[in-house]
Amino acid sequence: VWVSRIRLSLFREGALASRTLACLVSDLAAGSVLPKKASCPQADTQSRLANGPQRDMLLSDCKQFFNTEDLYEVLRVDRAATASQIKKAYYKQSMKWHPDKADSAEDAAKDATARFQIITRVYSILSDKERRILYDESGIVDDENVLSDEESINLWRQVFKKVTEEDIRKFAAQYRGSDEEESDIVAAYNSWKGDMTMIMNSIMCATFEDEPRIKAIIDKKISEGNLKETAKYRSSTTKVNVNKRRRKAEKEAGEADQALQEIKAKEGNGSLQELILRRQADRSSNADAFLDSLAAKYGAKAKRSKK
């Protein structure tokens, strides 16, 4: 899912997207497994003190980025969810909000990074028995830690020991056109009051090419009386706004092509960056070929490192 939608943010040095994808794609190709008792490094003490009380900040962040202050709603689970269901929900949300899903624009990358960190903090609370009970009974959010980029990555990898290419393809195949996707579309519509741009940003595996299909699902729900057509939906699905989203996608592809030429001039052909940028420039097709090339590139590196 997320591998097939790698963005140019991979090349932003020091960005969470770069480090996250480098780690996860490496795991994907090499099939590496982290120790089961891997631990997240603690953030700098002065940094924690500077951030002040975290309870209000986490809830405020949830409201700003997910339009809710309910931790369960952030992960899209019921309050009666089991530990395994919460873990599964965290996995799905982390794939949805990995920074690689963002556009190449800096603001989009920052938004994805913030969301990824928020769901990780939420999971750290709901996966802890005592902190979850405290939250359930009193509404108190015991969010003593502000996770850094590195901590967010380490926690993700601690929970999910191994990601394979088959896992990704299987997940995408099962999700597209499923009842779960339809439910997510309805939830996104209600959450964003019909804003099609935000809806498209909220649906896993969705690309611009999926918009007509997703709109058809929404229109059907409206005609059946299951959704109420909003002014925001009407305005965000006009020809003008649809074309605006299309132009944005085309601009992104153009930026990828330009960056590809620069990489060719500096590093020559055949680099991992080139493979990623080619996928970015033509992301509507050849997903399997891209994944195979990516895996082959990393696999070759892994084999050489063992010698």
Q: What backbone torsions phi and psi does residue 41 show, to the nearest 5 degrees?
A: -65, 145
pLDDT at position 5: 37
**Number of domains observed in the structure of the chain:** 2
pLDDT at position 278: 52
Q: Is 268 left (phi over 0), alpha (psi -120 to 50) or beta?
A: left
Domain assignment present for residue 173? The answer is: no
Domain assignment present for residue 88? The answer is: yes
198 and 145 co-located in one domain: no
Q: What share of the chain is helix, strand, coil (3-state, %, to 5)?
A: 70, 0, 30
Distance between CA atoms of 10 and 6, rounded to whole angstroms? 7
Domain assignment present for residue 78? The answer is: yes
Digitized pLDDT (tens) for each residue of the chain, 307 residues in all: 333 333 333 333 333 433 444 444 444 444 443 333 333 333 333 333 334 444 568 888 888 888 888 999 999 999 999 999 998 888 888 777 766 555 555 666 777 788 888 998 899 899 988 889 888 888 878 665 555 555 555 555 555 555 555 766 777 788 889 998 999 999 999 999 999 999 988 887 777 888 999 999 999 999 999 999 999 999 999 999 999 988 887 787 677 677 667 766 665 554 444 455 555 455 444 444 445 555 555 554 444 444 4
Greatest alpha-carbon pair distance for the chain in Å reads: 63
Domain ranges, residue 122: 3-167
pLDDT at position 145: 52
151 and 217 co-located in one domain: no
82 and 104 co-located in one domain: yes
Domain assignment present for residue 301? The answer is: no
Distance of CA 78 to CAs 68, 72, 137, 171, 188, Å?
Answer: 14, 6, 15, 22, 17
CATH number where 100 lies: 1.10.287.110
15 and 130 co-located in one domain: yes
Domain assignment present for residue 304? The answer is: no
Domain assignment present for residue 79? The answer is: yes
Residue ending a domain, among 167, 202, 225, is 167
216 and 153 co-located in one domain: no
